[in-house]
Chains A and B, each alone.
Chain A
Amino acid sequence: MKVTIDGQSIEVEPGTTILQAARMIGGEVVPPAMCYYSKLKGSGGKCRCCLVEVAKGSEADPRPMPKLMASCVTGCMDGMEVNSKSSPRVQEARKSVTEFLLINHPLDCPVCDQAGECDLQNLSFEHGKSESRFIEEKRTFEPEDIGPNIQLHMNRCILCYRCVMVADQLTDDRVHGVMDRGDHSNISTCISKAVDNEFSGNMIDVCPVGALTDKTFRFKSRVWFSKPYNAHRDCPTCSGKTTVWMFGDEIQRVTGRKDEYHEVDEFICNGCRFDHKDLRDWTIEGPRAFEKDSVINQNKYNRKLQKVEIATEETILKGRETDRKKISMAQIPLTQEDIMNQKSLGNNG
């Protein structure tokens, strides 16, 4: 079957979705996907980021599809013509979805462990606006403790359902799910139960945002300060093939090996992920490559930054000096002795 996306044609097997075909072509035609995960059955269709325009249904029925279609769950037809990035309508829809996903998002990237490898950050970088039109109070959820290994930040969740599918498809005993409905839907165990089984850690890897993060890596480092290496070990439970994130000689974090669409090659077990942080546990294969534009490649800011010139710098400094004089604050930092003196003065007075 032949399918054409943004003018580029490719031959695909029947049953291929538009998104899969786009990924085969690669590059700019690939729609963003926040909920679809090729390794999880039944995923996709929910976030609506990957909407595309079907300009020609198929050779047999060339009529265009009136609505934009979710490319991750729409099958290719022979002769189908699809507009992805080239369509203004599609671009507009992606902007819309990005805005919707962000209105209630806390935007707490500065304190979020996912920052730097977050699909929502990437999406908003590409399709987001610099200002929000949402002036209402943001939705928040009460924190829930789901055990010693996984940190749940419901406020950041975009409800992709991937973590629920991981629990359903990788384990026999799912204990968390989606509770409530509408904009109060939330991921929860309902009873603050620990999500604890050999493969539960994969919830972290499939989470596209910072809703599920690794508690053993919590606040340890920004992801771009650590260096990723492919590593393996003999593991009785999983393949043992992982990426270890190093800072100096220290393994700060272990994750699955993710491809360019941030999907893991293989799911790994909790033993590898949480309990093996000693360098001697692993055979290091070599550095792991990331896409060109990933901040992870910026690595330690080793490129020289250009100095930012501010035209009014001098004026600003003068202004500060004046302000300082107005408010009677010491110009040089106070010594411990000065502080003690002041305190005793206050007490006596």
Chain B
Amino acid sequence: MERTQYKQEINMTEALMNRINELISHYPEGKQKSALLPVLHEVQDAHNDWLSIELQDKVAEILAIKPVEVYEVVSFYTMFNRRPVGKYMFEFCQTSPCCLNGVEDLMDYTCNKLGVKVGEPTQDGLFEVRGVECLGACGYAPMMQLGDFYKEHLTKDKVNQLIEDCKNNTIMLHDK
């Protein structure tokens, strides 16, 4: 439920609309609703990784479906954010095999270093630490997801390096 509304500037660029139309073309005539999940990913990536109600309404309009159908889907799947999030989201996998390899200590370490709790963005909006469920990298534990990519076999040193790289803006988040 959206209690606090945050403002978001909507910018449906031509490149984004072209990609959306391409995605819609993957489905038969009249089945454009099927494109909802891929379209939401594209739209979210182009809008600072979150989807305001207005942006969700925009997606509903493009796909010619009811706004509530979009809200239902956005709230069901964990990858869609309904509030502004840290630019660099460190999503640590915290399911059993990663725990066996010390992910909990690593999360504590990262939170301490950034001075935040899990699920709270840093004051400057640059970082956020999250615990998520199995990401399918159990053999390369501990690991996290950062943008579209996995960072595996993590150590404290690697986390330090990642934080530095993020601050220096040398991390690629999305593969477009």
- B-binding residues in A (CB < 8 A): 141-142, 144, 173-181, 186, 188-191
Contacts and interface: CB of A to CB of B under 8 A. Distances in A.
Nearest to A184: B75
Interface string B55-70: 0000000000011110
A177 B76 contact: no
Interface string B1-25: 1110000000000000000000000
B53 A174 contact: no
B72 A142 contact: no
B1 A188 contact: yes
A181 B1 contact: no
Interface in B102-133: none
Given A178-B72, A190-B75, A191-B53, A142 B66 contact: no
A175 B75 contact: no
Nearest to A144: B1
Given A144-B1, A190-B1, A190-B68, A179 B75 contact: yes
Nearest to B82: A190
Nearest to B3: A142
Interface secondary structure of A, over-half rule: loop
A139 to B, nearest CB: 14
Contacts of A191: 2, 53, 71
A188 B1 CA distance: 7
Interface secondary structure of B, over-half rule: helix
Contacts of B76: 179-181
A186 B75 CA distance: 10
Contacts of A173: 66
Nearest to A181: B76
22 contacts: A144-B1, A173-B66, A174-B66, A175-B67, A175-B68, A177-B68, A177-B69, A177-B71, A179-B1, A179-B75, A180-B75, A181-B75, A186-B1, A188-B1, A189-B68, A190-B1, A190-B2, A190-B53, A190-B75, A191-B2, A191-B53, A191-B71
A251 B120 CA distance: 53
Contacts of B66: 173-175
Given A142-B1, A181-B75, A190-B53, 4 more contacts: A142-B3, A177-B68, A177-B71, A178-B72
A190 B66 CA distance: 13
Interface in B125-164: none
A176 B68 contact: yes
A299 to B, nearest CB: 40
A181 B73 CA distance: 10
Contacts of A190: 1-2, 53, 68, 71, 75
List of 7 A-B pairs having minimum Cβ-Cβ separation, nearest first: A190-B71, A179-B75, A177-B72, A177-B68, A180-B75, A181-B76, A188-B1
B67, B68, B69, most chain A CB atoms within 10 A: B68
Contacts of A188: 1
Nearest to B1: A188
Nearest to A175: B68
A141 B72 CA distance: 17
Contacts of B75: 179-181, 190
B75 to A, nearest CB: 4
A216 B127 CA distance: 49
B1, B67, B72, most chain A CB atoms within 10 A: B1
A179 B71 contact: yes
Contacts of A180: 75-76
A142 B2 CA distance: 10
Contacts of A144: 1
Nearest to B77: A181
A180 B76 CA distance: 5
Contacts of B53: 190-191
Contacts of B71: 177, 179, 190-191
Contacts of B72: 177-179
Nearest to B69: A177
B36 to A, nearest CB: 14
A81 to B, nearest CB: 39
A235 B25 CA distance: 47
Contacts of B69: 177
Nearest to A190: B71
